Structure 1
Amino acid sequence: MKKFKRILLSKRRTIILFFDLEFYVPKNERLNRDGFLANPYNNENIIIGGTFIRNFPLNSETEDETLKFWIWNYNFDEKLMLTEILQFIKESWSIVNSIPDHYPLMACGIGISRIDISYLFGRISHYNIEEKSKLFEILNLMRLIELENLTVPFFRSYNDLIITKNTSQINDKFKINRKREPSKKIWDYYDEKNFVAIEKRNTEEVLDQVLVYKNISKYLLIQNLPKSLSKEKIENIQKKSIKKDDLELLMKYYIPGFDSNIFEIKDNIEDETKYNLMKILIKTSSLKNKKYKKKNVA
């Protein structure tokens, strides 16, 4: 039987890049056209900037790093701005690759697999900032967490067709109550030189993506919460250096069942409590399968 290579996930080197780019289409190209109008291979359809959040999902002690790249901060030099964006992505790859066999750099967003990644490739290639074969690897070897696709099962379906949802629908589903203007409004703001409005809207979009990701992550995690724990497992947890509050929470919701050797979880527990219980069990390593135990890397 073929053995799969072990993939490492370290606290300080597992990275997700949340990001959203904004593009500009001149007025004369907006008329009599439907759908997504921007095209990276039309020279005037430039990237005007975007917000990147570098997130370390396994390290709660490390704060997210937010970097903003806007063309007006680079004397409206798109090439210079793209050079710095690419350098930031390369730097993120360097952090991940500092440990051999580490899990690849990840990128997360809404529509990034359809638009943002290919747009970056097109505009960076236009200026010959990076050799195309190398650029392809830098951008396309990232593992993409496409929220358009990931959120599909959270919506009701009334036929056999799988359809992705737009940003507003996704935000509504995850109860992110933020007023959102149409994407094309960005072009009006750019024409009016209302750069503050562009930055504000874009930053909020990326922060919302982080919230959607975290909500999905919590949902997936609590699906694995065990409905019962053995008495032996409970005793092993009690022997570990576990916080008093964590132990009290665990014992509050896992109570002795009909079988004295089994502790069963209470009914009708809120999702946030389930999430906290799951985190406690993970911290105490009581759910880890020894066969797939991760290496202890920094």
Structure 2
Amino acid sequence: MSERSDRTAEAVEPPTDRGSADRATETFVAHRNLLFTVAYEMLGSAADAEDVLQETWMRWVKVGQDAVQDSRAYLVRITTRQALMRLRSLRRRKETYVGPWLPEPLLTAPDVAEDVELAEGVSMAMLLVLETLTPTERAVFVLREVFGLEYDEIAEAVGKNPVTVRQIAHRARNHVAARRPRGAVSQAENRAALLAFRRAVETGDLQSLLDLLAPDVVFLSDGGGLVQAALSPVVGADLVAGLLTAGLGRIAGSASVQLAHVNGHPALIVRIGGQIEGLLAVRTEDGQITGLYFVRNPEKLSRLEQETALRR
């Protein structure tokens, strides 16, 4: 369906017969997890992804169902367009964000880790890499590399011609390749690093954790200006070790840590007094910790209480 046809269909009044409305609802519900995943990978925010889904639904129910040949592709197009508009406004909001911005973490089912491409796409490390792309580059990369859409489909979703989309995809792949981990993400290495962190919290012995820090390790902490957090990246093993030593010293004996699947990878949920204090994720390469991501912004922690379904 052409972009012009899409606009025409989206302008149709909401279906008045019960059967058409039921079909629209059933179709949307069937694809909801996929649409949420598309929006979340483009935005890095579950709250904004939910808003995009609401906007998608409002447009979808105005579509004449008989005019749609491929409902999945049509819904992905609407979601992508709404997410692109939201992403551009988010960029302006992030310019005034207090301290480093990290994606909103999601508690995910273990089966997400079994889909390697999906797990990598929603990992904290990859979402941070995607932040360095332009909105259109991010949309094209996500739709092509994670969801496997054809260039013609992506072109309709982003409002470009297929030739231009191929060029954007090539540029985005090169950009991501230069910034992503050199090798495949190792779930086992991530888990080992997190278990060392848990031992440090439980025993006060930090040495096994500090021994894993890469010389150029980067620590990012997101408090959003609402809770205490480092206001800039902490870089280098010595500085990160000092930060961890001080931080773990403050919470030793009062904190509990839970190993969980977050964004398709092992992570630690940190609780104090039974309340979630933060989420710690890591990036490892060749057995060393190259990135530590600590989300403390309380507005970003609600999705750690219940699993979020992600699908391709």
Do Structure 1 and Structure 2 share a fold, with TM-score over 0.5?
no
TM-score category by the smaller chain?
under 0.3
TM (norm. structure 1) is 0.26
TM (norm. structure 2) is 0.25
1 or 2, which has the higher helix percentage?
A: 2
Larger radius of gyration: 1
